[in-house]
Structure 1
Amino acid sequence: MQYITKHYSEAEPLSLVEKNILKEIEKHGMRPEQCIWGTSVCSDEVNNSLDGMSRHFAAPGPFRFGGISGIPFTGKTGFRAFASHIPDDGGAVIVFGPHIGISKNGTAGELMREGQAESSTCCGSLVAGLESVKAGNVLMISHDDYQQGQVNKLLIENYEDIKKADNQILKITDIAYHQIKRELTDIVSACIENLGNSPLLLIGGIVINTDADQEDFFEIRDISVFNS
């Protein structure tokens, strides 16, 4: 765990984070079994470690807002659909944030995946974007690679800060976090009427993926409540 808390001092194992999220839901007068839940995290299958929380909520879940890097590419249409699924007299919860791999040797931005002999990048989208921007390769935003084009655009816009960072992988993860939070909050604010009187809890943080034989972690950074 020390190799994780070195970079993310407030990170906790997902099994503990799950309990804390349930307490937070109940603290706001909501009952998990009467809530649907969604995520805005990267499409990478390593993030399926979050899916175990579905057993506490109504409906199969989670509703997936995030594309690669975790940006909520489903947009307003996706949120309106999600809101229309809220149980009568129920509420909703969305867990959001980017992810980062941290291997057992403490290297940020990579991990050992199940069945592989060599480590691979994580978040692959953010790392690929960073390498592309460093090389001066501008990926045009096109219909067949739209999401990565948006990721690259975000990194280009923040490249001066990235260059100054002691650890660029940690920096791009932080940049992605603020972008996801900003976009998701804007979407909710624009579509607040679709919630009716139903409460919504947004829980933001960093998903920390570890080697395949280790438990993943999560560092909670922000909690916001709408219609409380």
Structure 2
Amino acid sequence: MEMEPIIQQHYPNAKTGEEITFNYLNLLAREYKTNLKKMLFATSLCSDDVNVSTDFRKVLNRPFSMGGLGGLPYSGLTGMVAFSHHIPDGGDAFIFYGPHIGITDEGELGRMRRLGQKKLTNSCGALMLALERFQQEDKGEETYVPHLVEYDYQQVLLEQMLMPFKDRIIHSENPKKEITEVAYYKINKQINRLVRMSIKEFRCQKIFLLGGIIINTSEDYHDYVDIRNFEVIHTKEQEQYIPNSILETEAFKHL
């Protein structure tokens, strides 16, 4: 069975993680003359162990991890400022971000067969859990309201972020796909806001933002990425998003 036609029914522009890695790293080096050896790579992806779809880590140093459950940049402003301070002299910044969704060999979204397992599990588990909780009311159960608790704060924050879109999600044609779309929207918005809030902290010339949805398949196939945004921010042409005073403390300067 070929997986690509199945994936393209849902994500017609998706390409394999290998293709995405090759295409974009070549683009950065060729068109933007960036030195990949000096580039600092960051991710805002879900904590899930399946999110190794691209080979960026094999070419670029580290990465700096900003994401948590669902792919939200939980490291926040503090994390973005720290990242901006860690870029090698003469290098640039590259941030790859977005949520992920599984797909079975039969084409069911939101589920996947993981490495070494016969059973199907949810992907993204955090997003599918949020969806299940949102759907309680439609099933005649008590309305779910996420309350922050210290032992599961990332999941609750994810649900609180998604809650304004609850009706749109649960009444969509494919709620599993829709909740992933909403997660991408929020991650993209947060990453862009955090970059612009901390723009004057970046000593590099360029910040590359690459956002998309990772599509997890079974171990017999390649994972795919549906790219939604590629943006180049020239740091010297940007104005500060918020007053400098917020970033002027010694603690921020030495992250």
Q: Give the TM-score band, short-chain normalised.
A: over 0.9
For 1:86 and 1:112, how far apart are their aligned partners in 2? 37
Deviation at 1:155, TM superposition (A): 2.6
Higher Rg: 2
Q: Is the 8 Å Cα contact of residues 130 and 155 (structure 1) preserved in structure 2?
A: no
Match of residue 40 from structure 1: 44
Q: Is the 8 Å Cα contact of residues 35 and 91 (structure 1) preserved in structure 2?
A: yes
Note the alpha carbon deviations across 1:14-50, whole angstroms, 9 max, x for none: 1111111112312223121220101111000000333
Number of residue equivalences: 225
Identity over aligned pairs, percent: 33
Match of residue 23 from structure 1: 26
Deviates more, 1:9-18 or 1:41-50: 41-50
Deviation at 1:82, TM superposition (A): 1.2
For 1:165 and 1:31, how far apart are their aligned partners in 2? 44
For 2:162 and 2:7, how far apart are their aligned partners in 1? 24
SS of alignment partner, residue 160 of structure 2: helix
Q: Is the 8 Å Cα contact of residues 91 and 199 (structure 1) preserved in structure 2?
A: yes
For 2:122 and 2:193, how far apart are their aligned partners in 1? 30
Match of residue 105 from structure 1: 106
Structure 1, unpaired ranges of 5+: none
SS of alignment partner, residue 215 of structure 2: strand
Aligned partner (choices 165, 172, 185) of residue 192 of structure 2: 185
Aligned partner (choices 144, 148, 151) of residue 144 of structure 1: 151
Deviation at 1:104, TM superposition (A): 1.0
Aligned partner (choices 185, 191, 195) of residue 202 of structure 2: 195
Deviates more, 1:200-209 or 1:29-38: 29-38
SS of alignment partner, residue 220 of structure 2: coil
Deviation at 1:226, TM superposition (A): 1.5
Q: Is the 8 Å Cα contact of residues 133 and 155 (structure 1) preserved in structure 2?
A: no
SS of alignment partner, residue 51 of structure 2: helix
Note the alpha carbon deviations across 1:96-138, whole angstroms, 9 max, x for none: 1100001111000000011212100000000000111111222
For 2:53 and 2:64, how far apart are their aligned partners in 1? 15
Match of residue 4 from structure 1: 7
Match of residue 169 from structure 1: 176
Cα RMSD (Å) of the superposition? 1.3
For 2:63 and 2:45, how far apart are their aligned partners in 1? 11
Structure 2, unpaired ranges of 5+: 137-142, 236-255
SS of alignment partner, residue 3 of structure 1: helix
Q: Is the 8 Å Cα contact of residues 18 and 53 (structure 2) preserved in structure 1?
A: no
For 1:128 and 1:167, how far apart are their aligned partners in 2? 15
Deviation at 1:92, TM superposition (A): 1.1
For 1:72 and 1:203, how far apart are their aligned partners in 2? 14
Match of residue 85 from structure 2: 84
Aligned partner (choices 212, 218, 221) of residue 211 of structure 1: 218
Deviates more, 1:167-176 or 1:147-156: 147-156
Deviates more, 1:173-182 or 1:139-148: 139-148
Note the alpha carbon deviations across 1:159-180, whole angstroms, 9 max, x for none: 1211331001110000000000
